Amino acid sequence: MEGTEFIRKVRKLGRKRGVTVAVDNSHGKGSHAMLRFGNRLTTVRKGELSRGTLHAMLKQLGLKLDDLN
């Protein structure tokens, strides 16, 4: 999964659950950005995400992979 696709899916989930989702490109270097899901944060890379990175980001946001599908 690409980082931009991950952001898009988290935004959709936030709208569905009524949770605030914000992306802050100024708090990341190069191709990274900060993603806020409610009161939780993670750093998202814009390129391809490895499986371990994806699961770590989901854990930081308190989500599971099934939540995005």
- Buried b / exposed e across 36-66, counting CB within 10 Å, b at 16+? bbeeeebbbbbeebeeebbeebbeebebeee
What total of structural domains would you count in the chain?
A: 1
User: What is the reported pLDDT for 30?
Assistant: 78
The residue segments making up the domain with residue 38 are 3-68
Cβ-proximal residues to 6 (8 Å cutoff; 6+ apart), any chain: 44, 49, 54, 57, 68
Instruction: Give the CATH number for residue 25.
Output: 3.30.920
Closest by CA to 25, choosing from 39, 50, 54, 45, is: 45
Mean pLDDT over 23-32 rounds to 81
pLDDT category at 25 given cuts 50, 70, 90 is: confident
Residue 28 has pLDDT above 70, yes or no: no
